[in-house]
């Protein structure tokens, strides 16, 4: 189990052409893989709210259960993250609500403590993310994502986990400027964007 404060820089790439250009300029990634994110929330939609997330992520034949509580502003995300392996069977994905509570995950325990009780969870849907990992000469571990939503639309972003946001933002933005890749600070988390696309289905 992992409980930590996660700080990430998030930049939105201006379309598929900019994503393709960045990947072409960076060359062969150090790693690349697919992620399938299953999202959950309370029946009334209040929990975890648009700035949190309750998620089971499938990748590389494994499943990770995550609860994040935090915020994103000007392309800088800061969240308390509870993360641990999902102990339920993968063939029962998405799992029923009771199975999630009975599994005893620390993230759900944190939600129970915050809101004073257990509450019914519902599966909201899933989205698919293609992730490429690049290690830069500046020492950044840069994740370049192409995310596909339930309505078939895609968007593209760059993420960098950081302990020094000011320094690493300068390094990341300078790299993208040097490569001629257009970007803006990411205004919304993947879960927020997922909800926007879900509403459009």
In angstroms, what CA-CA distances link 148 with 9, 22, 27, 90, 157? 20, 18, 23, 22, 12
Per-residue pLDDT, 100: 72
Per-residue pLDDT, 49: 77
Range of the domain at 31: 2-199
| Higher pLDDT, residue 124 or 90 | 124
CATH number at residue 162: 2.40.320.10
Per-residue pLDDT, 187: 96
Given a cut of 80, is residue 3 above it in pLDDT?
A: yes
Per-residue pLDDT, 110: 82
Q: How confident is the model at residue 103 (pLDDT cuts 50, 70, 90)?
A: low
Per-residue pLDDT, 108: 82
In angstroms, what CA-CA distances link 26 with 117, 137, 142? 48, 11, 10
Per-residue pLDDT, 191: 94
As for how many domains the chain has, the answer is 1
Mean pLDDT of 87-102: 76
Mean pLDDT of 186-197: 94
Q: How confident is the model at residue 19 (pLDDT cuts 50, 70, 90)?
A: very high
Q: How confident is the model at residue 56 (pLDDT cuts 50, 70, 90)?
A: very high
Q: Could you tell me which residues come within 8 angstroms of residue 16 by beta carbon, excluding any fewer than 6 positions away?
A: 154, 156
Given a cut of 70, is residue 179 above it in pLDDT?
A: yes
Half-sphere exposure of 90 (CA within 13 A, CB side): 11
Q: Which of 17-31, 32-46, 79-93, 156-170 has the lowest mean pLDDT?
A: 79-93
Q: Which residues are 195's β-sheet partners?
A: none
Q: How confident is the model at residue 120 (pLDDT cuts 50, 70, 90)?
A: confident
Q: How confident is the model at residue 88 (pLDDT cuts 50, 70, 90)?
A: confident
pTM, full prediction: 0.92
Mean pLDDT of 10-39: 98
Evaluate whether 85 touches 103 at the Cβ level (below 8 Å): no
Given a cut of 90, is residue 192 above it in pLDDT?
A: yes
């Amino acid at each position: 189990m992992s409980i930590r404060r996660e700080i990430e820089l998030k930049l939105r790439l201006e379309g598929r052409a900019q994503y393709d250009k960045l990947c072409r300029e960076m060359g062969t990634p150090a790693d690349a893989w697919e992620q399938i994110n299953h999202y959950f929330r309370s029946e009334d939609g209040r929990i975890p709210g648009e700035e949190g997330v309750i998620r089971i992520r499938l990748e590389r034949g494994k499943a990770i259960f995550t609860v994040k509580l935090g915020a994103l502003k000007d392309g800088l995300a800061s969240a308390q993250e509870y993360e641990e392996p999902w102990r339920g069977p993968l063939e029962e994905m998405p799992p029923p609500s009771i199975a999630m509570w009975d599994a005893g995950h620390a993230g759900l325990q944190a939600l129970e403590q915050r809101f004073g009780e257990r509450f019914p969870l519902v599966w909201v849907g899933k989205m698919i993310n293609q992730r490429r990992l690049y290690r830069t000469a500046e020492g950044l571990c840069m994740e370049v994502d192409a995310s596909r939503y339930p309505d078939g639309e895609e968007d593209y972003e760059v993420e960098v986990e950081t302990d020094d946001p000011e320094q690493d933002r300068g390094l990341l933005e300078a790299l993208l400027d040097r490569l001629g890749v257009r970007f803006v600070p990411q205004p919304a988390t993947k879960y927020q964007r997922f909800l926007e696309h879900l509403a459009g289905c």
